[in-house]
Amino acid sequence: MNTMDRGTKIYATILAMFVLILAFAFCYKSPKVNDLNEHLDAQLKISNFPYHFQVVHIDADTAIMSSPRSVDMPVSRILGFVFPLVKGLSTQSNAFQEAQKKLAETQILAKKIVLADPDINHVQWQLDRDWLLQHGVVL
């Protein structure tokens, strides 16, 4: 027994195709993004770091990369989540300063690795909201 008329079938087919296209668009990562992330993972200083810098997507010649900090999320708010041993320490303490230096050095190294690709001329940092929320940071 066929319960849908022809118009409903056409509408359902178009709607299903639209949903599939949207799902593909949200899940698709370009091969270049995967390649750049593999280069980052191959660098032990980056792959062993508590926060994993990643290329999120590419816009022309600009790599958009994840970061746990931004102008809106200062390092003093997130450093204890990257390095639990400095959580609660004064920002002036040697341990805090050393952890901040390690974070900056690793972020700079990640940027250099991505910029070494001939197709990438710029890096733009994007706050990694998912990582922050997973670690209990209120945005």
- Domain locations in the chain? 29-134
pLDDT of residue 25: 60
The region of weakest confidence among 14-23, 35-44, 114-123 is 14-23
3-state secondary structure (DSSP) of residue 119: coil
Q: Distance between CA 95 and CA 26 in Å, rounded?
A: 40
105 pLDDT exceeds 70? yes
Mean pLDDT in residue range 84-88:
91
Which residues sit opposite 63 in a β-bridge?
58, 123
> Is pLDDT of 19 > 80?
no
Predicted local confidence at residue 28, as pLDDT: 56
Select the CATH number that applies to the domain covering 29-134 from these four: 3.30.300.130, 1.10.150.120, 3.30.56.10, 3.40.50.300.
3.30.300.130
Instruction: Flag whether pLDDT at 23 surpasses 90.
Output: no
pTM for this structure? 0.76
Q: Do 75 and 137 touch, CB atoms closer than 8 A?
A: no
